[in-house]
Structure 1
Amino acid sequence: MICMIPQSYLQIKEATDISGFNMASNIDTCFLLRSLVCSKPNAHFLELGTGTGLATSFILDGMDANSSLISVDNDPKYLQIAQQFLSNDKRLELVEMDGGDWLLQNETKNFDFIFADTWHGKYLMLDNALNMLKIGGFYIIDDMLPQPNWPEGHDKKASKLTTILKSKNNFSIVELNWASGIIIATRKF
């Protein structure tokens, strides 16, 4: 069976390689994100940490016509790549802003799916992001297995984050020791 890669992903990947951006989501993670997105019709999606838009392209590829995606990043150099290849999709709102500021300014919004791929909403302001998730919604994080670009001591932060997520009784947690290391938290109540 062939898993199709979105055309926009291939274009973004080429531009990403040229840009030198080295924090992109693993392609296996992108395939998983698309599959999870497909389970949420007529949904509102949030991506914290657009980067160059590689994972964004897969999220969009899995969305139906009645869904929407807000993707937030604070780095205009990399966000410009996502804008170049994805801005024609009317379901997508790309936001250039600090993730923490965005979370504070939008705390009353609710989402069916949050992919937190940056510090804010993951290592910082975790509860702010989790509080935005609807019952039955997915909170997904990646890069939970050791990565070559981790600074010294980051393994302790990842371990602490895992412990915090496991302690939340209103979420069902699954750890996937696969791809770059994924945690999916599904809100129960």
Structure 2
Amino acid sequence: MSLVDAAYARAAANGFGQSCEPEVGRLLAALAAALPPGARVLEIGTGAGAGTAWIAEGLRPRTDVTVDSIEADPAVAAVAATGDWPPFVRLHVADALEFLATAPGGYDLVFADAFGGKIEGLDRTVAKLHPRGTLVVDDMTPVEGWPEDFRAKQDGVRRALLADPQLVTVELAHGSGMIVGVRRPPAG
């Protein structure tokens, strides 16, 4: 069974219904496959590990990369930890904003899929991107049933990303709706 199939099976077996959609996952795998040697990847919001699995599958058979995946909920993180992860994947049980404040260095690919780091602290997430690093944010298309305050917060994230002068962005009506941004290199 592939890492991806195993992650979706773990999610289903544990009643975790918030895994990234396959369309988002395929994009993550493609972006991961294009990363330079020694790249660093950050996923904010491990969940049951579906996004992590897509990223790892895109990186295989490489071993020169590091994938840090953060989950704030210890019970959910325990579900992801049962996966058979390649050695380059490191799962962390941590508050995203604390991790962003203390993690050394930056990242070449960031998948922001949790409240912390996306709704709250988006500026910290963008700051962790290396120049020419790629940020993927999903769930940008409103869904019927979202509470109005959450819908307003998601729209605020959408507007902030599309207007951020540090990023070159594109909005994709794919999967749950995504914004992909690349951090501009310094002038000069």
Same fold, TM exceeding 0.5?
Answer: yes
What is the aligned counterpart of 2:26 among 23, 31, 54?
Answer: 31
What is the aligned counterpart of 1:8 among 3, 16, 21?
Answer: 3
In 2, Cα distance between the equivalents of 1:60 and 1:74?
Answer: 20
Secondary structure, aligned partner of 2:83: helix
Q: Is the 8 A contact 1:49 1:72 kept in 2?
A: yes
Secondary structure, aligned partner of 1:138: strand
Identity %: 27
Q: Is the 8 A contact 1:41 1:66 kept in 2?
A: no
* Cα deviation 1:1-45 (Å, max 9, x = unaligned): xxxxx7122122122112111111101110110001111032100
In 2, Cα distance between the equivalents of 1:86 and 1:133?
Answer: 28
Q: Is the 8 A contact 2:8 2:19 kept in 1?
A: no
What is the aligned counterpart of 2:138 among 136, 142, 145?
Answer: 142
- Paired AA for residue 90 in structure 1: P
TM-score by length of 1: 0.90
- Consecutive unaligned residues in structure 1, runs of 5 or more: 1-5
2:153 matched to 1:157? yes
Correspondence list, 1:83-94, <5 A: 83-87=81-85, 89-94=86-91
In structure 2, the partner of 1:104 is 101
Q: What displacement does 1:150 show?
A: 3.0
- Consecutive unaligned residues in structure 2, runs of 5 or more: none
* Cα deviation 1:30-81 (Å, max 9, x = unaligned): 0110001111032100000000001100101111321110000011222122
Aligned length: 182
Change beyond 3 A, Cα 1:24–1:120: same
2:175 matched to 1:179? yes
In structure 2, the partner of 1:3 is none
Q: What displacement does 1:149 show?
A: 6.3
In 2, Cα distance between the equivalents of 1:184 and 1:101?
Answer: 24
In 2, Cα distance between the equivalents of 1:12 and 1:126?
Answer: 26
Q: Is the 8 A contact 1:12 1:81 kept in 2?
A: no
In structure 1, the partner of 2:118 is 122
